[in-house]
A = this chain, B = another copy of it.
Amino acid sequence: MEGTPLEGHSLGLLPWFMAATQILGLTAVIMTGVWLGHYEGGFAWDGSSLELNVHPLCMVIGMIFLYGDAILVYRVFKNESKTTVKILHAAIHLTALVAAIVGLLAVFGYHAAQNIPNMYSLHSWCGLITVILFCTQWVMGLMFFLFPGSTYALRACYRPLHEYFGLGLFILAIGTALMGITEKLLFSIRDTYSKFVPQGILANALGLVLVSFGITVGYIVTRSEWRRVTNPEEEALSMHFKTLTEGDSPDSPQGQ
């Protein structure tokens, strides 16, 4: 892992970028909590607008903060076995999915209690598409990368799509959150938003923190020199699988 001085310097920055993602992600969660807790009356599960407040909090925790962290595990745990990191990746995503489902139940429950139609806004269209594709991506990832039935060739073929759509859906989740913030503010403080009231500034700032989180996570995972380097043992295993499994199935889930 010595590399050139430039590579050494670049690798040295990774912990700082990682720290930045965690500060930005946690700040986003706290700001969402303060916005809804302090300015919007807090949280409840009673069909009132306090139940609606549960929705953004769960979505920011699940579909943004945990989703981002699940993507980053491959850059953090470079020396753990690939299978361990895959399981961690899948487990964090599953936790994110549970949070997202609670968030969806909150908004559908609120709409049912208040007799408000569902799924009419662009925010809701993008949000539901994101969650459905996120589930699909999770199941596909499980089948291709953790179940033993998949071949090396199939994994190598699907992997770039999994990575592209994984990051793409994460970005779409952030875009959906920005629309959600806009909607919430125009329903709650429509008459005072243009007067730069604290609630509006806080929620706008939250939007910028979410964008910054997305930009930082995206930069870390797309920077080629920070990609996980397959260790020689894993490489040998992969090559073994490749030889064994041209169109056939490997004996173990590891090696992709």
Q: Which A residues have a C-beta under 8 Å from some C-beta of B?
A: 116-117, 120-123, 125-126, 129, 160, 164, 168, 171-172, 174-175, 178-179, 181-183, 185-187, 193-196, 200, 203-204, 207-208, 211, 215, 218-219, 222-224
Residues of B within 8 A of A223 (CB): 160
Q: Are B164's CB and A126's CB within 8 A? A: no
Task: Indicate which residue in B160, B174, B182, B203 contacts A183 across the interface (CB closer than 8 Å).
Answer: B182
Determine whether the beta carbon of A178 is less than 8 Å from that of B126.
yes
State in angstroms the CA–CA spacing of A224 and B171 once bound together: 20
A208 and B126 form a contact (CB under 8 A): yes
Interface of A is mostly: helix
Bound-complex Cα distance A171 to B171 (A): 8
Q: Is the CB of A168 within 8 A of B218?
A: yes
Contact A208 B116 (CB under 8 A): no
Contact of A121 among B174, B182, B208, B222 (CB under 8 A): B182
Given the complex of chains A and B, what is the CA–CA distance between A179 and B183 in angstroms?
Answer: 9
Query: A122: which B residues are within 8 A, CB to CB?
Result: 178, 181-182, 185, 203-204, 207-208
Question: Among B123, B164, B171, B200, which residue has its beta carbon within 8 angstroms of that of A182?
Answer: B123
With a CB–CB cut-off of 8 A, which chain B residues contact A168? 215, 218
Contact A178 B181 (CB under 8 A): no
CA distance A218 to B200 in the complex (A): 32
Which B residues are in CB contact (< 8 Å) with A171? 171
Which residues of B are found within 8 Å of A174, using beta-carbon distances? 175
**Which residue on B lies nearest to A119, using beta carbons?**
B196
Name the distance in Å between A27's Cβ and chain B's nearest Cβ. 16
Q: Give the docked Cα–Cα distance between A182 and B124 (Å).
A: 11
| Chain A to chain B: the 6 pairs with minimum beta-carbon distance, closest first | A122-B207, A175-B175, A122-B204, A186-B186, A120-B194, A117-B194
Q: Who on chain B is nearest to A124 by CB?
A: B204
Contacts of A196 in B (CB 8 A): 117, 120
Which of A122, A164, A193, A196 gathers most chain B CB within 10 Å?
Answer: A122
By the criterion CB–CB under 8 Å, are A204 and B164 in contact?
A: no
**How far is A140 from B185 in the complex, measured between Cα atoms in Å?**
36
Residue of B nearest to A204 (CB): B122
Instruction: State whether A125 touches B204 (Cβ < 8 A).
Output: yes
Chain B residue numbers with a CB within 8 Å of A222 are 164, 222
Q: With the chains together, A147 CA to B207 CA distance in Å?
A: 37
Residues in B with CB closer than 8 Å to A203 are 122
Interchain CB contact under 8 A, B125 and A164? no
